[in-house]
Amino acid sequence: MFSIEYLMEKLDYSIILGSPSGSVSEVVIDSRKVSKYCLFICIEGFKFDAHSVAADVIAAGASALVIGKDLSEEAMDLARKNNVTLIRVDDTRYAMAFISAAFYGHPADSLKVIGITGTKGKTTTSYLVKNALEEAGVKTGLIGSIETIIGDEHIPSINTTPESFLLQSYFKRMLDAGITTVVMEVASQGLKLHRTQGFTFELGIFTNLEPDHIGPNEHESFEEYIECKSRLFRQCRYGIVNADDPHLLKVIKDHTCQVYTYGFNKDADLWADDLELIKTPGQPGLEFDVHGDVNTRLFIPTPGIFGAYNALCATSICHYFGIADDIIKDALSKAHVKGRTEILKTPYPFTIMIDYAHNAMALESLLKALREYNPKRLIVLFGCGGNRSKDRRYGMGEVAGKYADLSVITSDNPRDEDPQSIIDDIKEGIKPTGGKYVEIINRREAIRYVIENGKRNDMIVLAGKGHEDYQEIKGVKYPMDERVIVKEIISQLEDQ
């Protein structure tokens, strides 16, 4: 049993009914999983408000409820009749983070948690850091947009940053597994919805920032997006940040941590120069010199300066943990991340790459980087997600039109929207550029088209899906792994 006072000890609250001296059996946030004597937290989501089922929760046996608004008369009458404790807080999501941490015994207090935020680079950097730390013998867990890794267990992710209750359960499982360090992606939505409250990060990391995730159910404005990102640097002990990003000062405004910088600016604490493109057939890469607290020359099997920034960031983190330069160098030279500039092996004299670029900034960085390798043609296949801002569609269309020799516009995750309507929006972005394009709604057929029409020394980018192995249509996720699709198409073509 858990004391209510213990679970609520780090929160401001008021008792509307009952007494805080009672005990509860467990903490529950899903109304379908209520158990006798539990404490239930009423969360107001985008589509469902758990306050609306408070009466059902009480009838099912909950002995305490954490609420953020008034309950119905029916719920209040049941609460009085069943001696239920009602606890009022300003924000139940914020409260949930602290309650969850207490419920699981504050596991993050015994871990060194690295939180990485930014518009892009979070996933790649998190894997680079995990690989390097484990090369040095540091047992490391990972929580991110692709998966959560606890030892040998890989758990597919639903959100980039899990809800606080799930997050704290992962921390507890990692601690029990002997893990000492956790690297995790911290999305702006996760910060906005207080998923990372209830503990202090050892390191807060900032990669870069551009307008993104602005629209319904995301952020109202770029200013709010920045403000949410900035919260990380009031929740960490030490910050490692990109000195070259123009939004840096806004991101670290009112920070409470010590700050360490990296970049291509010699005023940064860790800086790089002498960048060289490595044009190895089938695997474009980079080499560059690092100066400051680490002095070495790094090779990374990733094209584009964004890859160099990710590697610099990872190097800064590894230095903080005292990892030797040669271990950092070796780990970064062989690191590959699923769905991030991932080269597929094919029998053809052209390159096929899968990348998660799903906004204008990421797509522009990728295409500009690949242009530097002088492909015969740069072909990009992409779509845009449904139920998201139309600005993203226009922006991605404009970028593709400017930097690709051919754009193949197709479906991504259309969700509840008409795929053709999404494609039409993308075309509005392409048309002013004069860029060449074809439209093929069916993504599998679009992939077949680029393979059948590929020419020697072309670079073909399948953008937007990255690590995803599904396509979401009308609330249903259908299997769709582009790696599998490419293999199947090549096999079919070879059999013809």
Question: For 238-252, what is the mean pLDDT?
Answer: 96
The residue among 210 and 35 whose pLDDT is bigger is 35
Question: For 299-327, what is the mean pLDDT?
Answer: 93
Find the helix packing angle between 122-135 and 305-320, rounded to 10°: 40
Question: For 114-141, what is the mean pLDDT?
Answer: 94
Instruction: Give the Cβ contact number of residue 85 at 10 Å.
Output: 21
- Structure confidence by residue, pLDDT tens digits, 35-69: 999 999 999 988 899 999 999 999 999 999 999 99
Supply the pLDDT for residue 219: 57
Question: For 139-148, what is the mean pLDDT?
Answer: 96
**Residues 383, 423: Cα–Cα separation, whole Å:** 7
- Structure confidence by residue, pLDDT tens digits, 147-194: 999 999 999 998 889 999 999 999 999 999 999 999 999 998 899 999
Instruction: Please state which of the ranges 210-214, 334-338, 439-443 shows the lowest mean pLDDT.
Output: 210-214
Yes or no: say if 168 and 177 are a contact pair by the CB < 8 Å rule. no
Instruction: Please state which of the ranges 79-88, 246-255, 266-275, 303-312 shows the lowest mean pLDDT.
Output: 303-312
Q: Where residue 292 falls among pLDDT bands split at 50, 70, 90? A: very high
In this predicted structure, the answer to whether residue 120 has a pLDDT above a threshold of 90 is no
Question: For 188-206, what is the mean pLDDT?
Answer: 95
Can you give the residue ranges of every domain in the chain? 2-102, 105-333, 342-495
Q: Residue 272, Cα to own-chain centre: how many angstroms?
A: 26
Calculate ∠ Cα 216-220-223, nearest 5°: 150
| Token pair recorded at residue 42 | 């009423």
Q: Where residue 320 falls among pLDDT bands split at 50, 70, 90? A: very high
Backbone angles phi, psi at 114, to 5 degrees: -105, 120
Residues 6+ apart with CB under 8 A from 431: 397, 401
Alpha helices by DSSP H, listed for 372-481, are 390-403, 419-430, 443-452
Residues 6+ apart with CB under 8 A from 404: 367, 378, 379, 380, 435
Supply the pLDDT for residue 29: 95
- Structure confidence by residue, pLDDT tens digits, 90-103: 999 999 999 999 99
User: 2-102 and 105-333 share one CATH topology?
Assistant: no
Instruction: Give the Cβ contact number of residue 199 at 10 Å.
Output: 21
Supply the pLDDT for residue 362: 86
Q: Where residue 484 falls among pLDDT bands split at 50, 70, 90? A: very high
What is the CATH class of 342-495? alpha beta
Q: Where residue 211 falls among pLDDT bands split at 50, 70, 90? A: low
Rg (CA), the chain: 24
Supply the pLDDT for residue 404: 98
Q: Where residue 283 falls among pLDDT bands split at 50, 70, 90? A: confident
Q: What percentage of the chain carries pLDDT values higher than 70?
A: 98
| Token pair recorded at residue 48 | 């469902």
**Residues 221, 474: Cα–Cα separation, whole Å:** 27
CA atoms within 13 A of residue 153's CA, in its CB half-sphere: 10
What is the CATH class of 2-102? alpha beta
Supply the pLDDT for residue 278: 87
- Structure confidence by residue, pLDDT tens digits, 399-428: 999 999 999 999 999 999 999 999 999 999
| Token pair recorded at residue 442 | 């069916």
What is the CATH architecture assignment of 105-333? 3-Layer(aba) Sandwich (3.40)
In this predicted structure, the answer to whether residue 327 has a pLDDT above a threshold of 90 is yes
Supply the pLDDT for residue 214: 54
Q: What is the mean pLDDT of the chain?
A: 94
Question: Burial of 23 by CB count in 10 Å (0-12 exposed, 13-18 middle, 19+ buried)?
Answer: middle
